[in-house]
Amino acid sequence: MHFQEKQSQMPTSRHNILVAASAGLAALEIASRTADAGSNSDHETDVAELIKRSADSNAALMRGDIDTYRTLISYTDDFTLMSPFGGTPSHGSEYTPERMEAMGRFFKNGIFKQEVVQSYASADMVVLAIIEHQNVEVGGLPAQEWPLRVTLVYRREGSEWRLAHRHADPLVGGISLEQAAALARGDG
């Protein structure tokens, strides 16, 4: 028996309840979509602002301008950094004013741009997957290209977006399985 046949055999009061419920569900779905559209718009604005802030702050850092970097980026108390040089992750509590100043001296004369691969957003978290392209003097080495694959996690704390995590690696060009195995063994 098809739905319409069942519907015609239903008592009128039950049929009316089902029609009203269906209409109510449809209205609820439309309202939900409208609310989601508003929040998606808010998310898009947050993402766009964080993409720009990320580019501006990292461009400043690559020039060695730690003061501008610090005005644009603040870390969460539980911030973690997985450096492109590997090793043990560092934490927000380690980023003292002295360490930040040293970080500003570590990078010099850099040119920076970024390419957004993907972004993800919720009410209180934004994740950016980006490729950073920079030509910069790092740690006293002559200027060279330093492309990095980067994941940034921003978390809203109150009304402020703060950087909770950064993971970067220099594998933009890719490496072979053998090279990856050598790095994993500590041979590389």
pLDDT cut 70: percent of the chain above it:
78
Residue 28 lies in a domain: no
Find, among 10, 170, 155, 162, the residue nearest to 73 by Cα: 162
Residue 25 lies in a domain: no
pLDDT at 41 over 80: no
Report the pLDDT value the prediction gives residue 137, as an integer from 0 to 100.
97
Report the pLDDT value the prediction gives residue 37, as an integer from 0 to 100.
43
Residue type, 15: H
Find, among 8, 6, 12, 150, the residue nearest to 82 by Cα: 150
Residue 157 lies in a domain: yes
Find, among 86, 73, 89, 100, the residue nearest to 148 by Cα: 86
* Mean pLDDT to the nearest integer, 2-16: 47
Domain that includes residue 85, residue range: 33-185
Residue 110 lies in a domain: yes
pLDDT at 69 over 60: yes
Angle (CA) 25-26-30 rounded to 5° is: 115
pLDDT tens-digit readout, 153-177: 999 999 999 999 999 999 999 999 9
Q: Which residue has the tokens 């046949």?
A: 5
pLDDT at 46 over 70: yes
pLDDT cut 90: percent of the chain above it:
76
What is the SS3 assignment for 134?
Answer: strand
Total domains in the fold of the chain: 1
Residue 145 is part of a domain; what is its CATH number?
Answer: 3.10.450.50
Residue 26 lies in a domain: no
Report the pLDDT value the prediction gives residue 53, as an integer from 0 to 100.
97
Residue 18 lies in a domain: no
Residue 158 lies in a domain: yes
